[in-house]
Each structure stands twice: as C-alpha cells, then as structure tokens.
Structure 1
C-alpha cells in the first residue's frame, strides 16, 4: 500500500536496548549481525561487568604479592569475558526464547524475532565456549578447575526466574566469579581476600541487576517472570541501597585483608560514592533512567580497578 514500507529484513533489526549507532549495526556484515547481537556485542556493558571483577581480583593479588597486575592475565580475562558473556547470553536466549517473546524489551532479540534458529544458536554457543576454554587453559590447574566450576550457576540461572523470587542471586554467583579468578590465577589457591571480594561482588551484581529489571516490571508480571525488582516493590531503593552498601563494605574488607594502602581505599571510596549516586538517582517507574544507571556500573567498576591497580603499581615503583 502507498505510504507504508516493508519491515526491514531480520539482519537489519537491532535489539531494543542496544547502544544506538553501535558498529554492529553500522559496519558488521549483514548476515553476521544477528549472531553478534545474540552474543550481546552491541551491548558491551555485559562483558564489562563480567570482566571488572577479574581485574579487581588480579589487582588485589598484585597488592598482596608486591607486584603489578599481570598484563597477560588482564588481557586473557578481557578475551575470556567477551567470549563467555556471549556464550552465556546465547545459552540464556535459547532457554528463554518463549518468555522473551512476551516481553516488549526482549521480543526483538534474534531468537524470538526469528532472526536466528535455535539450532544455529546452539552451534554458535559451542564456538564461543571453545574460545573461552582456550583462554582458561592458559592458566594454572587450580584456576582451570575454578573456572570450570563457574558453569554450574551459569547453567541454572535461566530457569531460576521461573521458580525463585530473587533470580538475581544466582546471576550474582555467576557474574561475580571473576573475583575468584584473578586471585587463583596469581597464587594457585583461594584465600580470604578473594572470598570477601566474591561476596561483595555478588551484592553488587544483585544491586545493579535489580536496577536493570526495573525496565521490565510490568511485562514480567504479565509473563510470570520473577525478579528482585518485583520482589522489593515499594522498598526498591532501600533494598538496592542495602545491596550496594554491603558490596562496598565487603570490598573494603577484602582490600584491607590484601594489604591495600590509601590509594586502594580511595578507589573503594570512589566506588562506594558512585553506588550511592545510583541509588539516589533511581526512579522506580523510569525504565530509561534505570538502563542508564545500570550501564554506569562500568564506570563504578573502573574507578575501583584504577584505585587498586595504581596502589599495586605505586608500591613497586616507590619500592
């Protein structure tokens, strides 16, 4: 009919919450775009949030050992985070494709929108997992075992939103795993600072993913999807504030137990201040602001990493 236009072909359909004007939508080969979207390459905040605890842990290990963060480890964690974030997202989308079709924000994802078949997505999942395995095999034997153990919470997370009111806790177990990896990669064992950092990172993940879930409260209720945002209800801001306060406190204790100095604690303070700012700015009914605050956790994490890494480096440089 005159005045109407045909919908764009599948490879031209971006996902609802992708970064506007991302290179995936502008420069990637058209047939590759649905797969890059399936791996969340157009939403880099996911791999940043998976990567940053690895870098924090590597920096704490450097502080404890009197060295600088191992640059090879930092680079391997970067590649591994991108690959495993993509693999986890692909697995999650395969498991959730029917639920995603019922939620406004997620129905444009490659699987529910028909851009990618489930069989092809499974093959893509295997390819990404092999990249992650190749990275993991570069570490010591204990780190390899710890890394493999991370697959347990990853495997069960997509199904938790159907059976528990706080699936973000299981997501926290998975996304915080990097807090263990940097330490065990350096020392071949897990000590108190790593476990304290892991606990603090879980609280951080629950806080920021609750903010993320604010976008979907109404649709989740219709689809029967459970989330911490729905569970907290009118106590949403107080609950997120409590998660963030616990995260900052546990990270501070982890830094103390690793022997961090003033620069490291300055990073912890900046991290805590950023989390407090997010809590104050949150508006329960404002999905757009919730997405902005969620994405800002990359900056919060980089502040903490900068403080810890600089603390380690100054100890070496000053001697």
Structure 2
C-alpha cells in the first residue's frame, strides 16, 4: 500500500494535477452554454459529465507526461525543474512512455463514445498537445501553442454536447489562447537566463523582460475582448458580462503583482489564474440559470 501511495504521489508531481483548474472550468463553461442554447438547460447529463472528465484528465495527463519525457534533457539542468520525477529517476523512461500511450488511448476511446466528431478530432488534438514540447526548441511561438493546447478544451466541450463548433465557442477559445499565452509569458520570466544559455526560443530570452510584460499585457487585453465577444455571440446576459469584467480586473491585478516583484510570479500564475477560471464558470452558470 505504501508503494502505491508513493507511486501516486510521484504521478501527481509529474502531471501537477492541481493545474487542471486552468482547463476544466472552460470545458464545462462550453458544455453548459452549448446545452442551454440547445435544450434551454445548462445540464447536459451524467454520461457527458463522466466522459468529459475522463477526456479532460487523460488529455492533460498525455500532454504533461509527453512534455516531461521530451524535456528531460532540458529539465535536468534547470534548478527549478531538476527535482521532477521524470528527471530524478522516480519515474523511468519506460514507465513514462507507457503512461503516455495509455492516456492517449483512454482519450481516443472516450472520445469515440462521445460522438463521431469528437472521435475524429481526438487525433489532431493529441498532435497539438504534444507539439508544445517541440516548439520551444525552434520558435518563440511556443507560448501561443501552449495557449492553443488549453483552448482546445472549450472546443472539445461544445463538440461533446452539440457535435458542432459554433462561433461563440471559437471566440471563447481565442480568449483562452491569449489568456494562457499571456500568463505563460510571465511565468517564463523565471527561466529567462536559463533559456538564453540553453538556446531555447522563449520570448523573455529573446526580447527581454520589459518587452515580455508588454506583450503579455496585449495578450490579456485580447483575452478580455474575445470573452466579451463570446458573451455577445452566445446571447448571454449581464451576469456573463460581469464575469468578463471581473476576469479583466484579475488579469490587471496579476500584472501589477509581477511588475512590483518578480518573486511573486508563482502567486500570480497559479492563485489568480486558478480563481479566474472558476469564477468565470460560476458567472456564466448564474447567467444561464
């Protein structure tokens, strides 16, 4: 039993499960919106709830494990990441490969039981999720690719419910793209010097901290605009717009924290962005109810 507990802890350290708080609220925001627009109720059923959770968790497990597997040569030299289970030997390369393959298969099989569009989209989704790990080696667009990876969550959510990709879901996803890319830019400031020395293509290592913070602010301004457009395109009401405005305030506060003190990047990255996703979902749910 002790061995099982330690293994689960190592897997938890590998995939940082608590960061699921970034994607899950937007999957379910898309699902409740699609359900309401189709059936006049935000409840989409227990079956889709279960399959949605399995798809979300397995896709994220695949993405994180694949990233850890591909980045082992980078992570071992970075003091911030040298104690990851994929680096220090707690999870070997063979077990990591098995974990990646199993989660990919679980994701594809679960998508098959959702609907045919979800099944066929599961393959390019896995390609995009794995692509982020490669992009940082040759393009500073890696931040956008990471944003796109999480932005597939609301697209997957609406596909699961309505087997279509309406305009409002695209606008919601574009907001997620720039939200994630914006806070990833701030988070990457921690590794600016390391990325320079390693020859990695991050925006902080190429353009410096001031330019990075400016680009991040632009990205988050676009996030605010796209989420307002989402509320408009979906025909939502005042509570939804209020949720968008509060999201904008949280993003503004995030930038204030980082500008005052770079050592607070972790707080801005996890705490504020975690609250933002949950808060956004709650306001959309209240609006629909």
Same fold by TM-score greater than 0.5: yes
Partner of 2:127: 152
Q: Does 1:245 align with 2:218?
A: no
RMSD of the alignment, in Å? 2.1
Residue of structure 2 aligned with 1:53, choices 26, 35, 40 = 26
CA separation of 1:183 and 1:32: change in aligned 2, threshold 3 A: closer
Q: Does 1:211 align with 2:192?
A: no
Q: Does 1:30 align with 2:6?
A: yes
1:125-140 to 2 correspondences below 5 Å: 125-140=100-115
How far off is 1:215 after superposition? 1.8
Separation in 2, partners of 1:184, 1:86: 21
How far off is 1:305 after superposition? 0.7
1:218-257 to 2 correspondences below 5 Å: 218-233=193-208, 234-257=210-233
Partner of 2:42: 68
How far off is 1:294 after superposition? 0.8
Separation in 2, partners of 1:247, 1:60: 19
Unaligned ranges ≥5, structure 2:
none
Partner of 2:283: 307
Separation in 2, partners of 1:231, 1:309: 41
Separation in 1, partners of 2:147, 2:217: 16
Contact 1:63–1:259 at 8 Å: present in 2 too? no
How far off is 1:284 after superposition? 8.0
Separation in 1, partners of 2:109, 2:180: 26
CA separation of 1:27 and 1:112: change in aligned 2, threshold 3 A: closer
Separation in 2, partners of 1:109, 1:304: 31
Residue of structure 1 aligned with 2:250, choices 263, 267, 274 = 274
Contact 2:186–2:213 at 8 Å: present in 1 too? no
Which deviations, in whole Å up to 9, do the C-alpha atoms of 1:125-174 show, x marking residues without a partner?
22222332343233121122223321121222111111002311111121
Q: Does 1:105 align with 2:73?
A: no
Separation in 2, partners of 1:189, 1:310: 24
> Which range moved further: 161-170 or 217-226?
217-226
Contact 1:161–1:167 at 8 Å: present in 2 too? yes
Separation in 2, partners of 1:246, 1:94: 33
Separation in 1, partners of 2:55, 2:16: 14
Which deviations, in whole Å up to 9, do the C-alpha atoms of 1:175-199 show, x marking residues without a partner?
1101211222222111111111121
> Which range moved further: 175-184 or 145-154?
145-154
1:76-95 to 2 correspondences below 5 Å: 76-95=51-70
Contact 1:40–1:86 at 8 Å: present in 2 too? no
How far off is 1:74 after superposition? 4.1
CA separation of 1:31 and 1:253: change in aligned 2, threshold 3 A: closer
| TM-score computed with the length of structure 2 as normaliser | 0.90
Q: Does 1:265 align with 2:241?
A: yes
Contact 1:194–1:254 at 8 Å: present in 2 too? yes
Contact 1:60–1:255 at 8 Å: present in 2 too? no
How far off is 1:75 after superposition? 4.4
How far off is 1:53 after superposition? 2.1
Which deviations, in whole Å up to 9, do the C-alpha atoms of 1:41-95 show, x marking residues without a partner?
3xx11x2212222122123323433221425334433333222222211111111
CA separation of 1:27 and 1:245: change in aligned 2, threshold 3 A: farther
Separation in 2, partners of 1:59, 1:229: 37
Separation in 2, partners of 1:127, 1:182: 22
